[in-house]
Amino acid sequence: MVAITTDVNRPYVPADGATVTATVDVEPGEQREAVERHLLLCLDASGSMDGAKIDQAREGASWVFGLLEPDDYVGIVAFDSEASVVMRPTRWAETSREAAMTHVDRLGAGGGTDMYDGLATARDALETLSHRPETDRAVRRILLLSDGKDNSHDPPEFEDLATEVDESGIRIQSAGIGTDYDEETIRTLGTTARGEWTHLTSPGDIEAFFGDAVERAQSVVATDATLELDAGPGVEVSEVYRALPQAQEVDVAWEANTAVVPLPDLAERERQRVVLKVRAPRREQSGEVALADVTLSAQGREATDRIAVEYTDDGEDLAEHNESVSLDHRQTVVRTELGRGNVEAAETEVEKMTQIHGADTQVVEEVEEQTRLVAEGGREERDRATRIVDDARVE
Amino acid sequence: MSAVSEGDLVAGRYELGEVVGEGGFAKVYRATDTKTGETVAVKYPNYEGSQNDRDIVTRYFEKEADTLAAVRDAGGHPNLMSLLAVEEVDGTTVLVVEFVDGYELDSAIHQTGPLSEADHVRQIGIDLCDAMSFLHESEIVYRDLKPDNVVVTDRGGSVTPVLIDFNTATGFDAGGGGADETTIVGPYKPREVAEADRTEMRQGPWSDVYSVGKILLYLLKGTVPRKDGVDPRDFGADCEPYLAEIVEKATRTDYEDRYRNATAMKRVLEARDPTPPAQAQVRYTQEDAVYTVYPGDTIGRRHADGPQSSIVVDDPEEYISTVQVQFDTDEDGEWFIRDRSLNGTYVQTGNGWQRVLCPAGRRRLEARGEDPTDRSGETPPEVFGLRDGDLVALVHPSYGVTFEFQA
């Protein structure tokens, strides 16, 4: 069963109130039935992809075919100066590897980069399956690969498009390859449409990017997952981030006292973690108070917990500090900034962490090392910095 | 443990060179044995450089030491890193092991690209199966076969894979997935290992068979999916059908659909024929249960949970060994059993009960002052041919655990 657990760094607060840090851990639970996957490979086929990259993109498609189950759907959209549907979404049982490969073999590279049209076309292609009632429960993914910059659209336009894609129930796994793609665009797509963004160093990484995305889609327990925070009067929520699976800042939608934090699809054995700050308002009366009720819902699955503190004037209690919660939040902030390449912002944060928690705290040492790596490194290090190792999982 | 560095003399004998490997449990230095001039490797538990808790590092490090010692005691194997010495240094156990000079399989394939020669893939498969069979005969399931645990080295002019890490190997009786086991996932792990905490599926020799199958796909393609039952041709590998079918069968989800053990998989690779080797049946006469056996299958005593023999017998008295007997066939396809027990086994052929006993069991009985001979006062054989209708009695014909062999 899906379960959530909340934790706060300061379980006791004074009458004046305080800002506490909270974590919400989501355990996805087990898969009840096999899922149907709707996968759309959205491939950059502009001139710069010519050679090893387009070859490996073909290999990547070939690899994906090996991973499919009969009930899965797969399609391919390629974009250069304009987008084209190379293979419309097709039920795997109704085609064959040979037939699918004839589409893939036709993939060539040339021309400009209209990624926006590519993504919109990919979305439209997947939407052709929307009339099927089964699609409501399907795991729908666009796997986007690009090595360049869109010729005429900027990141905010992509954010709007990704929001639309996300709202239609489709998640985006975005990958940039090489050193010339627009990082902000790739990052925005993965973050906004509740997937992950990834940097690929060499063409040899393409196959694994597709393979991993397709296999992880198979372990999805429930799509359309959200955390709803029902905040008490005077309670303010800020600095909301997803820590796991990837450090990402979350755009929270507020309605009255209720905030909705969108989550990636819940997948078996992939714990998710959301970190946030909560302002506990002034309160004369001592005793325990729920600052926010937290409800996870995903396709009818539900789990609840609350972020609670106890108001007290007992000095010893007030001194209680659950440091790991603070560290989880701060390291997520640092790692998100590192993913954006904001080394200075990260350094400022690390300095604060060092003052509060000490330089020899393991998490502080780790983020310091990550910050150094990003300062000296490039896109690969920025990607890697956003991946927090989940101790419960050993590869 | 005090910090060690290049140039240090360990245990008064091994001069440390550079660090050649570091993982979650161990840190490995190249070293020179000043007594022999030989290059060796010295393995330290990696307390400082690991994300893992100290006691977990210690536990896995000791597990590795135990496994390596068991391998050495069983005579060693060309595809398994050999243990040279165990030393205590300032209260820390360190292992002195053979220095395996070569490339880890994953970096080798990164450099060369996937192997295009089916015969190279096949030979590595045969070598790995042979290593696994050897471990299984020592009642060890390796459980963690993956490319970065294999070094390819040059032995006598041929490329040979050698297993270098043993910290997740576990005894047949070690309990598969207790609550304290760290979850180990990854595409080389069969379900019964990756999901040990929530599956009833038993770990056993078939678990390593799965991993060998995935390694063969890795050699052919350079990438491996988590998916089970993988036919390399479905992933675009240009591969001979026999090899593709062997990989597909070895990596099935249900262990009963795989090759039952590494010996069986080795045979099909050698024969270039994916058809599982001959099978026979045995009937547990007291329970009236019939089992299918393949060459390499074993009968042994049941444990609480975890990896066990192919056929398990309840034996509260614990006279039956965890691996009591192993079935096999010779070059002509004739069946025989090999005793692997401490108390011996009897076979009833046309003219009475013949005792069968392995040398280790014989030595143990001698040491205890018990009779290690057969009915004619001779040293019992270790292997004995089986024919249709023969009875196989574990421990003694009167012990009450008897199997009828049905060819």
pLDDT digits over B260-271, tens only? 899 999 999 999
Q: Across the A/B interface, how many CB contacts are shorter than 8 Å? A: 47
Decide if B225 and A215 are in contact by the 8 Å CB cutoff.
yes
The CATH topology of domain B102-271 is Transferase(Phosphotransferase); domain 1 (1.10.510)
Rounded to the nearest 10 degrees, what angle do helices A343-357 and A362-376 cross at?
160
For A277-344, give the DSSP string. EEEEPP-SS-EEEEEEEEEEEETTEEEEEEEEEEE---HHHHT---HHHHHHHHHHHHHHHHHTT-HH
With beta carbons under 8 A apart, name residues in chain A contacting B223.
63, 207-208, 211
pLDDT exceeds cutoff 80 at A326: yes
pLDDT exceeds cutoff 50 at B173: no
With beta carbons under 8 A apart, name residues in chain A contacting B113.
none
Residue pLDDT, tens place only, A278-314: 999 999 999 999 999 999 999 989 999 999 999 999 9
With beta carbons under 8 A apart, name residues in chain B contacting A207.
222-223
Structural domain B9-98, CATH architecture:
2-Layer Sandwich (3.30)
Share of chain A above pLDDT 70, in %: 99
Domain ranges of chain B: 9-98, 102-271, 280-406
| Chain A residue nearest residue B24, CA to CA | A394
Q: What is the per-residue pLDDT for B376?
A: 87
pLDDT exceeds cutoff 80 at B167: no
Mean pLDDT on B154-173: 79
Q: Which CATH class is domain A37-218?
A: alpha beta
Residue pLDDT, tens place only, A47-64: 999 999 999 999 999 999
Q: For an interface test with A, which of B56, B183, B189, B226 has the most A Cβ atoms less than 10 Å from its Cβ?
A: B226
Q: What is the per-residue pLDDT for B57?
A: 86
Tokens of A46: 């502009």
The CATH topology of domain A3-31+225-321 is Immunoglobulin-like (2.60.40)
Residue pLDDT, tens place only, B68-108: 999 999 899 999 999 999 999 888 899 999 999 999 999 99
Taking the domain B280-406, which CATH number applies? 2.60.200.20
- Its pTM stands at 0.82
A104-118, A199-213, B193-207, B365-379: segment of lowest average pLDDT? B193-207
**Contact call for residues B354 and B374 (beta carbons, < 8 A):** yes
| Chain B residue nearest residue A395, CA to CA | B185
pLDDT exceeds cutoff 90 at B407: no
Burial of A18: CB neighbours in 10 Å, binned 0-12, 13-18, 19+: middle
**Contact call for residues A29 and A221 (beta carbons, < 8 A):** yes
Residue among A208, A211, A394 whose CB faces B184 most closely: A394
| pLDDT band per the 50, 70, 90 thresholds, residue A207 | very high
Cα angle value B143/B149/B155 (rounded, 5°)? 120
Residue pLDDT, tens place only, A53-101: 999 999 999 999 999 999 999 999 999 999 999 999 999 999 999 999 9
Domain ranges of chain A: 3-31+225-321, 37-218, 325-385
A65 CA: distance to closest CA in chain B (Å): 7
pLDDT exceeds cutoff 80 at A13: yes
**What CA–CA distance (Å, rounded) separates B290 from B284?**
6
pLDDT exceeds cutoff 70 at B42: yes
